[in-house]
Chain A
Amino acid sequence: MYKINRILLFIILAIGCSIQAKTIPVCVSCAVTSIKAGIAIAKDCDTLLIKKGTYKEYNILVDKPLTIIGEDFPVIDGEDKGEIIRIVSDEVTIDGLFIINVGTSYTSDYAAIRVVKSEHFLIQNVVLEKLFFGIYLEKSNNGKVYHNKIIGDAVDEYNSGNGIQLWYSKNIEVDRNIVQGVRDGIYLEFSDNITINNNISTKNLRYGLHFMFSNDDTYSNNTFENNGAGVAVMFSKRVKMYNNIFKKNWGTAAFGILLKEINDSEISGNIFEENTIGINIEGSNRINYTNNSFINNGWAVKVRGACYENKFTKNNFMYNSFDISYNSNLNDNVFDQNYWSEYTGYDLDKNGIGDVPYRPVKLFSYIVNRTPETIVLLRSLFMDIIDFSEKVSPVFTPDNLLDANPLMKKIK
């Protein structure tokens, strides 16, 4: 009953909006010259049309269902004094604003746009620069963050904020945003059922995308490039990762994806290119890896331990310095029908599957795990020789860790 009531209310509101909504123009020469004044005189469902110009305002509180539209990207300059827009009402749309100079604080997370306990919001075509936090969603559900551009100039992790942050929010769509130069590009904490598509997250100090305690989320077709440490998915369940591109995340602790305590997830159709470590797996179980391509990484997949029942099928492993690295000789993961560029076997019956199994863990990678400094012997003749002898008769590496059906041609 409650639900039906809500739907009815929503319909009434929507119809009501379309009937009596009016547009209030805001500009220097208009009757209303500031956004705050505009919000004060606006009634529910009105539209504020903000014309081109610079508005030096902060702590703008949007407490009724409004549509705030900027014309030719009006600039809202917070002058580093604090938060800029705070939305505390349902049904708010923010469109086409250019927000700069968000204040930095170590006690409260000032954001360019903060949505608090609201529903059905839409934030689109917003450009944020010189920010602390960008778009901060707090206990707000069923909204959409679409086609925004967030360009930060963060230098240190401790005094910078995240581009798009979701905290206790559910059913949100984050689509076609560009985030760069902040701490975490997109950060999710306790947020379930989130869809993150077509975003480009680059040059961030820490992670391009960061999950914490967030379940049943999907991210696909995103590009993560040149971030401090790529994408971190931690302590979450049932996360789906499809068709993303992870590129050039390198440095001393850089990954394409860092998986920590992730269960029952899907990683499929992604491309990992030139990362120090393609995927770093720790304590993650029952994950299916299919149709991914690992190209030119230092380590394609690094398994740290406590990983059970993961399945790697139909992936391409090409020109990685190490394909798989294990730090124990126990194995409960399955590798089947992958393409390995280093596979040297033959296919006499011409069925496209190599007749000799492939062992992806080299002795060298085992040694490097034990004594990291030995990495300086990479590509030396001696290493090739002992790798070869280990391949012939495995002693140190798990002897059941093999791809029994390595493919002869790479998967398109």
Chain B
Amino acid sequence: MLKILKYSFYDLMRSRWSYVYFLFYLVLGFVLLFLNNDVSKAVITLMNIIIVLVPLIGTIFGVMYYYNSKEFTELLLAQPIKRSSIFLGQYFGVAGSLTLSLVLGLGIPFVLYGLFKSDVIFNFTLLLITGAFLTLIFTVLAFIIAISNENKIKGFGYAVLTWLFLAVIYDGLFLMSLIIFEEYPLDSLSLGAILFNPIDLARTLILLKLDISALLGYTGAVFKQFFGTNLGLFISMGVLILWTVLPIGWLTFKAKHKDF
């Protein structure tokens, strides 16, 4: 598995898209800091970008890579290698290189602008960690979609739809249901609904540390306990890990049972 991981990783590291992705974040980081000149403000702006763009790029990249390296995969399948190592190797290669581009691309400008001297280092690390998780989650979702669909166009369609659903539509439905059922106590429901969407989860996790003033000022004891203590941080981190591990398990299951 490690060999395949290494191969995929180096293959991607050499590819143009990784550089584009890396450069994009590098430029973004520098521009943000140049315009704001305040590390803590830049972290907030960055959050908005990370929770939208990282999943999108993870999804598209994952699907693209799977379809592009399909022939190579089939070649590998003919060899005496475990199926799970082939697919997991490829998956971690893609996710690893994307995460590396993200962390380095954003890390370099912030470090140069004096991250270590400011007090937002924890927030920034949290931001990168959630970004990495989002990459892992959405790449694996993309792989699952790609592995289940032979048709490239269909695969792409479903992948983009998944992203659109989780990034926008889910929140819309969530909001609608909250308004429809506003007569009922909704604290637990709304917190529960967050856990079922990794993008919402990532957003909450970062908000916990940033905009807590507005969040705290409202509603009942359940929110207060969740957002006011470390409980929220642990729960959302735990669920985020579940969101990564479970789909990876599913991917191995799919890979084992697929008929090539």
Question: Are A380 and B171 neighbours in the complex by a CB distance under 8 Å?
Answer: yes
0/1 string, B152-186, CB within 8 A of A gives 1: 00000000000000011101101100110010001
Interface residues on A, range: 20 to 34
In the bound complex, what is the Cα–Cα distance between A385 and B168 (angstroms)?
9
Residues on A with C-beta less than 8 A from B223 are 373
* Chain A positions 22-43 with a Cβ under 8 Å from a chain B Cβ: none
Question: Are A367 and B175 neighbours in the complex by a CB distance under 8 Å?
Answer: yes
Contact partner, B190, options A250, A376, A381, A384, Cβ 8 Å: A376
Residues on A with C-beta less than 8 A from B5 are none
In the bound complex, what is the Cα–Cα distance between A165 and B225 (angstroms)?
35
Stretch from B139-147, B208-216, B250-258 at the A interface? B208-216
Question: Are B178 and A375 neighbours in the complex by a CB distance under 8 Å?
Answer: no
Residues on B with C-beta less than 8 A from A368 are 218
Question: Are A375 and B215 neighbours in the complex by a CB distance under 8 Å?
Answer: yes
Question: Are A298 and B200 neighbours in the complex by a CB distance under 8 Å?
Answer: no
Question: Are B178 and A379 neighbours in the complex by a CB distance under 8 Å?
Answer: no
Residues on A with C-beta less than 8 A from B216 are 250-252, 276, 298
Residues on A with C-beta less than 8 A from B224 are 252
CB of A19, distance to nearest CB on chain B (Å): 61
B103 within 8 A of A: no
Question: Are A299 and B52 neighbours in the complex by a CB distance under 8 Å?
Answer: no
Dominant SS among interface residues on chain B:
helix
* Chain A positions 315-329 with a Cβ under 8 Å from a chain B Cβ: 319, 321-322
Residues on A with C-beta less than 8 A from B48 are 379, 384
In the bound complex, what is the Cα–Cα distance between A254 and B218 (angstroms)?
10
In the bound complex, what is the Cα–Cα distance between A383 and B216 (angstroms)?
19
Contact partner, A370, options B179, B191, B207, B212, Cβ 8 Å: B179
B54 within 8 A of A: no
Question: Are A382 and B168 neighbours in the complex by a CB distance under 8 Å?
Answer: yes
0/1 string, A150-177, CB within 8 A of B gives 1: 0000000000000000000000000000
Question: Are A376 and B191 neighbours in the complex by a CB distance under 8 Å?
Answer: yes
In the bound complex, what is the Cα–Cα distance between A108 and B143 (angstroms)?
74
0/1 string, A258-294, CB within 8 A of B gives 1: 0000000000000000111100000000000000000
Q: What total of A-B pairs shows CB separation below 8 Å?
A: 100
Question: Are A383 and B47 neighbours in the complex by a CB distance under 8 Å?
Answer: no
In the bound complex, what is the Cα–Cα distance between A384 and B49 (angstroms)?
12
CB of B205, distance to nearest CB on chain A (Å): 12
B180, closest chain A residue (CB): A371
B204 within 8 A of A: yes
Residues on B with C-beta less than 8 A from A370 are 179, 182
In the bound complex, what is the Cα–Cα distance between A138 and B187 (angstroms)?
46
Residues on A with C-beta less than 8 A from B182 are 370-371
Question: Are B171 and A252 neighbours in the complex by a CB distance under 8 Å?
Answer: no
B80 within 8 A of A: no
Q: A367-B175, A374-B175, A376-B204 are in contact. Are A322 and B190 (CB under 8 A)?
A: no
Residues on A with C-beta less than 8 A from B167 are 381-382
In the bound complex, what is the Cα–Cα distance between A321 and B169 (angstroms)?
23
Question: Are B179 and A252 neighbours in the complex by a CB distance under 8 Å?
Answer: no
Residues on A with C-beta less than 8 A from B52 are 381
Question: Are B217 and A251 neighbours in the complex by a CB distance under 8 Å?
Answer: yes
A223 within 8 A of B: no
Q: A251-B217, A378-B215, A381-B171 are in contact. Are A371 and B51 (CB under 8 A)?
A: no
27 contacts between A and B (CB under 8 A): A250-B212, A252-B224, A254-B217, A276-B217, A297-B214, A298-B217, A299-B217, A367-B179, A371-B182, A373-B186, A373-B189, A373-B223, A374-B190, A375-B219, A376-B194, A377-B174, A377-B175, A377-B200, A378-B214, A379-B47, A380-B51, A380-B171, A380-B199, A380-B200, A380-B203, A381-B52, A385-B168
| B→A interface (CB under 8 Å) | 41, 44, 47-48, 51-52, 167-169, 171-172, 174-175, 178-179, 182, 186-187, 189-191, 194, 199-200, 203-204, 207, 211-219, 223-224
Known: A379-B47, A382-B171. 9 other contacts (CB 8 A): A251-B217, A254-B217, A370-B179, A373-B219, A374-B190, A376-B215, A379-B211, A380-B171, A381-B167
| A→B interface (CB under 8 Å) | 250-254, 274-277, 296-299, 319, 321-322, 367-368, 370-385
